[in-house]
Amino acid sequence: MGNQGLFDFADLPEWEQAAQDDVQVADVVFNLPLEKPYSYSVSDNLRDILRPGMRVRAPLGRSNRHVTGYCVGIRQTSHATGRLKAILEVLDPSPLLSTEMLQLTEWIAKRYLCGWGQVLESVVPAGVRRRSGTRMILGFLLAADAEQRLSNMRLPPGQQSVVDVLRGTTAPMSVPDICEHAGCGPGPINGLRKKNLLEVVRVRSELEGETLKSTTSEPDLQINLQQQACLTAIHKAIEAQQHQTILLHGVTGSGKTEVYIQAIREIVRYGRQAIVLVPEISLTPQTIRRFGSRFQSVAVLHSHMSDSERHWQWQQIAQGNVEVIVGARSAVFAPAPHLGLIVIDEEHEPTFKQESIPRYHAREVARERCRMENIPLVLGSATPTLESWLRSQRQHDQLLSMPDRVSGLPLPPVVVVDIRNDPIIARGASVGRALQQAIRRALTDGGQVILFLNLRGYSPTVWCRKCGSGIKCPDCDLTLTWHRDRQSAICHGCDYSVPAPEECPSCQNPSVRYFGTGTQKLEEEVAAAFGEATVMRMDSDSMKKHGSHDAALERFRSGEVQILLGTQMIAKGLDFPNVTLVGVIDADSMLNQPDMRAAERTFQLISQVAGRTGRSDRGGRVIVQTSCPEDTSITFAAKHDYLGFARHELKERHELSAPPFSCVTRVIFRGLQESQVSTTACEAARQLRKATHEDPHVRILGAAPAPIARLRAYFRYHLQIAAPTEERVREIWLTVASLFQLPDGVEMAVDVDPINSR
């Protein structure tokens, strides 16, 4: 959430008009919601040090408080206007960001309506800013008068060897380095120090990280005709050395990853680097294994790494020592100096959209970065977003199709089961009669089973039977979820936690009941029903430890676990040939959401989880439990008919002028006083309508309470700006924002192209 209401813009400096001669001026941005850089003079002692992309410390505001910012440009002028304040200190020995990355981050700030400094603070990892994994050590040089004094001295052999080594260097050397080159221990160094022949300085030493080099390289796999056709088209885009976005639409199991690998192989032959983005951290280990076995050097970037690990990888990438960079959303900013290709796998995943400032979408950032560097972008998915699909239909992007699985394997049959009349479900079970029978048959045949449920915890609803009210979080407009393993009712909005409530807080009656099924309850039910099988749960509650994703998937891959159940992290990208059954426990939990994209996400999740089976000659099947068997997203998913779903959904979106046929920006207001938040949001909506009343193509929706009207004790209201183009949305917002004043106590966040509507 933005904190614009807490920053006093009147506190910014007012420059007085004056003229100076021969001034070097640095443009600096800060981690604040400001649009334009601020100008500072560069003193003579910093002129040869400061470069764009470095961090600096500078005075800001009338109070002249010292604030860290980023230098984004340096210019020389003989007629600088204003009595400029001077930069106090340069914080980095070398630029953290290249010229190209500065241009990209400036684009992000404009595209997503936030401060340039806010983008830079997000792009550069904290471990890189702090130089994590480094330490200060003692370094040694010959003293300034050492040579003169040595002419009258006779040194022991060990000390003479140290002097000879130091005569050949101008940079300080550490004790281990001196000992290695001089062939001695530390004794001679200490002897020279006592004679004042050595100058001692403190230097920063980089600690060694994990090796990125692979000792083996497996050969490329044999590809089929449809893979070869797609690979040829990608090679043409690479050879053209021009930007081209390519949408690779391939059904699950069609061999998209092998196409990525062989396309990157071509890039590496040219001495260039590639970035591969995956949507889930759980997919990263599997992807690393695939790429690590085929390339000599692979780096990893994701949020579960320690600061020192991330810094080490960042350095190796920036030095050009890495062929392939694999990571989640933020890896799009990897400092690859010889970038030749970006691949986004499972491009439809909402996790590629960042939900905090800057609220960028990795797909659009990758598109712009590839455009700037004249390289191809490959988007891969079995269920592309409607935005990407429409661009390909309008021939803005190139469409490549792989409609068949490798080796001619068929897509698994999908059976939609109406559970409204299932007697087992009526008695409170989560796994219905048809799915129970299918699980038992799969286990008897030696197969493995994946069960998908997109609700974590034990029971999603804590409810009072007497007064009929749900027991909610005191700080959020959310019902508490019962987590049996922690014996607590927990809010999934703010992590508020209380012991199991013994009575209703509204009516003080002890008739508290737990309703619904989360992954914890499902795990208990499945383990009891299929005691002969080993059951494992994968969700954000069970996969908190470092390396837990990889360890869990390895247990399933090896056959130690027969039934894997979990949330979205098991629904995509995983390749287990022995899985012969996939069950979707409750398709309706995804469908019944206050979200324009609910149908699209339901189709995507069912299609993706269905693709986890039938990946070998053993075959497979999918059972989808639902109370809405006639819903179009479910019926199209059951037929594996993406084209039919896309036509149907795009028609409805077009009639509503909804994305991708319009551009939407959501503005969220929050504060501790509901009346103040409501008044502020309504006033913003009024001014927006006033500014756009003559434009029939612009719609202002709201202001209204957000779907989650209270979160973390803050009341929340929102509005939406919808216009034909992103440029028009930006123009409207900036016009009104320049006139609109946020009152104290109200904060505002601007979300361009929102994915999350809560």
The 3-class secondary structure across 558-590, one letter per residue, is HCCCCEEEECHHHCCCCCCCCEEEEEECCCHHH
The per-residue pLDDT for 28 is: 97
What share of the chain has pLDDT > 70, as a percent?
Answer: 92
Q: What is the pLDDT of residues 366-405, one digit of tens each?
A: 999 999 999 999 999 999 999 999 999 999 999 999 999 9
**Mean pLDDT value of segment 8-31:** 62
The per-residue pLDDT for 535 is: 95
Q: At residue 661, does pLDDT exceed 80?
A: yes
**Mean pLDDT value of segment 622-647:** 95
Highest mean pLDDT among 212-226, 378-392, 559-573: 378-392
- CB-CB contact of 489 with 483 (8 Å): yes
CA distance 287 to 550: 11
- Kindly report whether the peptide bond that precedes residue 610 is cis, defined as omega within 30 degrees of 0: no
- CB-CB contact of 724 with 697 (8 Å): yes
CA distance 432 to 413: 18
The neighbour count for residue 245, using CB atoms within 10 Å, is: 21
- The secondary structure of residue 469, as a DSSP letter, is -
Q: At residue 287, does pLDDT exceed 70?
A: yes
CA distance 755 to 681: 21
Q: What three-state secondary structure class fits 608?
A: helix
Q: Among residues 250, 236, 263, 244, which one has the least CA distance to residue 347?
A: 250
The type of residue at 386 is L
- The secondary structure of residue 221, as a DSSP letter, is P
CA distance 271 to 300: 19
The per-residue pLDDT for 512 is: 75
- Higher pLDDT, residue 132 or 659: 659
pLDDT band at 11 (very low <50, low <70, confident <90, very high): very low
pLDDT band at 212 (very low <50, low <70, confident <90, very high): low
pLDDT band at 285 (very low <50, low <70, confident <90, very high): low
CA distance 498 to 492: 13
**Mean pLDDT value of segment 664-676:** 96
CA distance 483 to 500: 9
pLDDT band at 284 (very low <50, low <70, confident <90, very high): low
The per-residue pLDDT for 7 is: 40
The per-residue pLDDT for 18 is: 38
Least confident residue range of 85-94, 233-242, 290-299, 332-341: 290-299
pLDDT band at 561 (very low <50, low <70, confident <90, very high): very high
Alpha helices in 130-215 (DSSP H): 146-150, 157-167, 175-182, 187-194
pLDDT band at 211 (very low <50, low <70, confident <90, very high): very low
Q: At residue 209, does pLDDT exceed 80?
A: no
- The secondary structure of residue 222, as a DSSP letter, is P
CA distance 471 to 473: 7
CA distance 330 to 317: 14
CA distance 538 to 520: 10
735: exposed, middle or buried (Cβ count in 10 Å: 0-12, 13-18, 19+): middle
What share of the chain has pLDDT > 90, as a percent?
Answer: 56
Least confident residue range of 502-516, 581-595, 740-754: 502-516
The per-residue pLDDT for 333 is: 96
**Tokens matching residue 314:** 């960042």
Q: At residue 214, does pLDDT exceed 60?
A: no
The per-residue pLDDT for 129 is: 87
pLDDT band at 702 (very low <50, low <70, confident <90, very high): confident
Q: What is the pLDDT of residues 249-258, one digit of tens each?
A: 999 889 999 9
**Mean pLDDT value of segment 178-196:** 88
The per-residue pLDDT for 254 is: 92
**Mean pLDDT value of segment 319-346:** 94
Q: At residue 151, does pLDDT exceed 50?
A: yes
pLDDT band at 456 (very low <50, low <70, confident <90, very high): confident
The type of residue at 10 is A
- Higher pLDDT, residue 209 or 477: 477
Give the DSSP per-residue string, 17-64: P-EESSEEEEEEEESSS-SS-EEEE--HHHHTT--TT-EEEEEETTTT
- The secondary structure of residue 511, as a DSSP letter, is -
What separation in angstroms does the CA of 611 have from each of 100, 106, 564, 577, 608? 39, 39, 15, 11, 5
What separation in angstroms does the CA of 146 have from each of 180, 191, 495, 752? 22, 14, 64, 64
**Mean pLDDT value of segment 35-51:** 91
CA distance 447 to 615: 12
CA distance 329 to 184: 49
- The secondary structure of residue 459, as a DSSP letter, is B
What are the beta bridge partners of residue 381?
Answer: 249
Least confident residue range of 454-458, 475-479, 690-694, 722-726: 454-458
- Higher pLDDT, residue 526 or 183: 526
- CB-CB contact of 658 with 595 (8 Å): no
**Mean pLDDT value of segment 98-125:** 95
pLDDT band at 409 (very low <50, low <70, confident <90, very high): confident
Q: What domains can you pick out in the chain, each with its CATH number?
A: 4-124 (3.40.1440.60), 134-206 (1.10.10.10), 225-408 (3.40.50.300), 414-459+516-653 (3.40.50.300), 461-515 (no CATH), 663-752 (3.30.70.600)
CA distance 118 to 69: 10
CA distance 147 to 665: 70
pTM value?
0.85
pLDDT band at 15 (very low <50, low <70, confident <90, very high): very low
Q: At residue 9, does pLDDT exceed 70?
A: no
What separation in angstroms does the CA of 682 have from each of 114, 423, 617, 641, 668? 22, 50, 60, 43, 11
Phi, psi of 109 (to 5 degrees): -60, -40
CA end-to-end span of the chain = 13
Highest mean pLDDT among 65-74, 215-224, 479-488, 533-542: 65-74
**Tokens matching residue 570:** 């098991």
Q: Among residues 597, 553, 104, which one has the least CA distance to residue 342?
A: 104
CA distance 464 to 505: 9
The per-residue pLDDT for 454 is: 86
pLDDT band at 718 (very low <50, low <70, confident <90, very high): very high
CA distance 479 to 463: 9
* Residue 225 parent element (H or E): helix 225-240
- CB-CB contact of 250 with 573 (8 Å): no
**Mean pLDDT value of segment 692-701:** 93
- Burial profile 368-384: b = 16 or more Cβ within 10 angstroms, e = fewer: bbbbebebbbbbbbbbb
| Mean of the per-residue pLDDT values of the chain | 87
- Higher pLDDT, residue 635 or 612: 635
- CB-CB contact of 740 with 703 (8 Å): no
- Higher pLDDT, residue 701 or 460: 701
**Mean pLDDT value of segment 74-97:** 85
CA distance 106 to 118: 10
The type of residue at 72 is V
- Burial profile 679-696: b = 16 or more Cβ within 10 angstroms, e = fewer: bbbbebbebbeebbeeee
**Mean pLDDT value of segment 167-179:** 83
